[in-house]
C-alpha cells in the first residue's frame, strides 16, 4: 500500500462531494467493539476539576470489509498479560490501574468468526501501550499501519532508551518481527479534505473507511471514519476517535478544559502531547457532529459507553 494507491480515491471524493452525499453510497463495513479492560483514574485527569473517578473501558474494534473480504483491527487495546509490557510501561500502570480482560486478540478474532491469519491489518491510532503492542505470533499475515512520523518520533524506544514508555519491539526495526507500514506525510498529494477534516485517505477506495489525520494526542495520531449499516437498514457514519478526546464530553463541549495528569505520570501536563493541536482536532470532530447530527456516532477508545450502539448491526460490545 503506497500513496499512489489513494490517488484515484482523492479524485473520486472531490467529485462526490460532502459527507452527507457520501453517506448513501453502497459499500459499508461492519464494526464490532471488543472490551479489553478498564483503567481507573481521577476524572480530573480528563476534565479539569472533575470530582469523580473515571473507569474508562479500553476498546479495540474489529472491522470487516466484505467486498474485498479484508479483516482488520483498529487498535489492539490492553494486553491480557500485563507482565508482557516493558518495565517502563509497567511503572505507568501504577497510575492508570489497568484491569485487563481475560481474552486475547486472537480469541477475539476467532469470536468474530475468523482466524488470526485472516487479519490483514492492525491500524494503530497512536503509539501508546494501551492501543498497540508487538504483533502476536498468530497474526503471521498481518501488517501494522501507523500515522506519519510515528516511527522516527518514538523509536528506537525501550530497551535502547530505558526510560522510554514506548516499546522497541514495535518501533525499533532491529527488534521488530512483523511488517510495519507508516502512512505518507500529510503533505503528500494523496491526502484530501473530507468534511471538516483537512487530511483524509480513502482506505478501500470506495468511501467505506477513511483514515483521518487527527494531530494532537501524539505524533501520527489517527482516527477512522467508517460507513456502517444500522439495524433498520439505513446508513450512518461511525467515527472511531482513539484518544482524540478523553471522553464524550468533548464532542459536545469542545472547549471543556483539559484535565491535568498527576506530576511525574507523563512528560506533558495533560493527556495530549500538543494541546493546541488536540483542541483543534476536537473542534473538528465537534463540528462534524453538529453538521451530521444523528447521522454520525463518535466512539472514543475509552468511552465508558458507546453512543448509539443499539442502532448498529454489530454494535453490541463483546465483554471479555
Q: Where along the chain do its domains lie?
A: 3-311
Cβ neighbours of residue 297 closer than 8 Å, sequence gap 6 or more: 236, 237, 238, 239, 306, 307, 308, 311, 312
Query: Residue 5: its pLDDT value, please?
Result: 59
Residue-wise pLDDT tens digits, 48-70: 999 999 999 999 999 999 999 99
Cell of 103: 481474552
The C-alpha torsion from 138 through 143 and 149 to 151, rounded to 10°, is 40
Tens digit of pLDDT for each residue in 159-190? Answer: 999 999 999 999 999 999 999 999 999 999 99
Exposed e or buried b for every residue in 73-108, given b needs 16+ CB within 10 A?
Answer: bbbbbbbbeeeebbebbeebbebbebebbebbbbbb
pLDDT band at 268 (very low <50, low <70, confident <90, very high): confident
CATH code given to domain 3-311: 3.60.15.10
- Which of 20-24, 25-29, 114-118, 230-234 has the highest average model confidence (pLDDT)? 114-118
- Tens digit of each residue's pLDDT (9 = 90 or more) over 297-311: 999 999 999 999 999
- The per-residue pLDDT for 262 is 78
Q: In this predicted structure, what is the pLDDT of residue 261?
A: 87
- pLDDT for res 320: 45
pLDDT at 2: 41
What are the C-alpha distances in Å from 290 to residues 24, 69, 150, 187, 251?
A: 19, 33, 31, 28, 9
Query: pLDDT tens, 196-213?
Result: 999 999 999 999 999 999
Q: What is the pLDDT of residue 282?
A: 99
Q: State the pLDDT confidence band at 126, using cuts at 50, 70 and 90.
A: very high
User: How far out from the chain centre does Cα 240 lie?
Assistant: 6
- For 313, residues 6+ apart whose C-beta sits below 8 A from its C-beta are 30, 228, 229, 230, 231
Query: Residue 210: is it exposed, middle or buried by C-beta count within 10 angstroms (0-12/13-18/19+)?
Result: buried
Pairing between strand 119-123 and 70-74? parallel
* pLDDT at site 72: 99
Residue 263 pLDDT: 74
Whole-number pLDDT of residue 60:
98
User: Which residues 6+ apart lie within 8 Å of 261 measured at CB?
Assistant: 45, 95, 268, 269, 270, 271
Q: Is the pLDDT of residue 15 over 70?
A: no
Beta-ladder partners of 224: 211, 240
Question: For residues 141 and 15, which has the higher predicted lDDT (pLDDT)?
Answer: 141
pLDDT at 315 over 70: no
Helix (H) or strand (E) run with residue 41 in it:
strand 30-42
What mean pLDDT do residues 256-273 have? 87
Residue 1 has pLDDT above 50, yes or no: no
Looking at residues 89-103, what average pLDDT do you find?
94
The answer to whether 73 touches 60, Cβ cutoff 8 Å, is yes
- What is the rounded distance in angstroms from the CA atom of residue 223 to the CA atom of residue 211? 6
Q: Is there a contact between 312 and 228 (Cβ–Cβ < 8 Å)?
A: yes
The pTM of the full predicted model, rounded to 2 decimals, is: 0.94
pLDDT score of 230: 93
Please provide the average confidence, as pLDDT, over all residues in the chain.
Answer: 93
Distances (CA, A) of 279 to 122, 164, 217, 224, 276: 26, 26, 9, 18, 5
Amino acid at each position: 500500500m503506497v500513496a499512489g494507491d489513494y490517488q484515484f480515491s482523492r479524485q473520486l471524493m472531490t467529485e462526490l462531494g460532502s459527507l452527507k452525499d457520501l453517506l448513501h453510497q453502497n459499500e459499508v463495513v461492519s464494526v464490532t467493539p471488543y472490551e479489553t479492560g478498564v483503567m481507573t483514574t481521577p476524572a480530573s485527569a480528563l476534565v479539569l476539576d472533575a470530582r469523580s473517578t473515571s473507569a474508562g473501558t479500553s476498546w479495540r474494534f474489529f472491522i470487516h470489509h466484505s467486498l474485498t473480504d479484508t479483516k482488520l483491527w483498529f487498535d489492539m487495546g490492553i494486553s491480557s498479560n500485563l507482565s508482557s509490557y516493558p518495565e517502563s510501561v509497567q511503572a505507568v500502570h501504577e497510575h492508570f490501574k489497568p484491569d485487563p480482560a481475560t481474552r486475547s486478540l486472537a480469541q477475539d478474532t476467532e469470536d468474530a468468526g475468523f482466524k488470526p491469519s485472516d487479519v490483514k491489518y492492525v491500524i494503530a491510532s497512536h503509539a501508546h501501550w494501551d492501543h498497540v503492542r508487538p504483533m502476536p505470533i498468530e497474526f503471521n499475515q498481518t501488517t501494522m499501519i501507523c500515522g506519519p512520523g510515528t516511527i522516527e518520533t518514538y523509536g528506537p524506544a525501550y530497551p535502547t532508551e530505558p526510560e522510554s514508555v514506548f516499546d522497541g519491539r514495535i518501533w525499533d526495526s532491529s527488534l521488530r518481527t512483523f511488517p510495519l507500514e507508516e502512512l505518507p506525510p500529510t503533505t503528500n498529494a494523496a491526502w484530501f479534505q473530507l468534511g471538516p477534516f483537512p487530511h483524509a485517505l480513502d482506505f478501500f477506495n470506495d468511501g467505506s473507511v477513511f483514515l483521518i489525520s487527527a494531530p494532537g494526542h501524539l505524533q501520527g495520531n489517527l482516527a477512522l471514519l467508517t460507513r456502517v449499516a444500522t439495524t433498520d437498514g439505513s446508513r450512518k457514519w461511525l467515527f472511531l476517535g482513539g484518544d482524540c478526546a478523553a471522553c464524550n464530553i468533548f464532542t459536545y463541549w469542545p472547549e471543556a478544559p483539559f484535565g491535568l495528569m498527576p506530576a511525574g505520570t507523563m512528560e506533558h501536563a495533560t493527556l495530549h502531547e500538543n494541546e493546541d493541536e488536540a483542541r483543534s482536532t476536537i473542534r473538528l470532530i465537534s463540528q462534524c457532529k453538529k453538521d451530521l447530527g444523528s447521522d454520525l456516532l463518535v466512539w472514543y477508545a475509552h468511552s465508558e459507553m458507546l453512543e448509539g450502539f443499539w442502532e448498529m448491526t454489530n454494535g453490541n460490545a463483546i465483554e471479555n
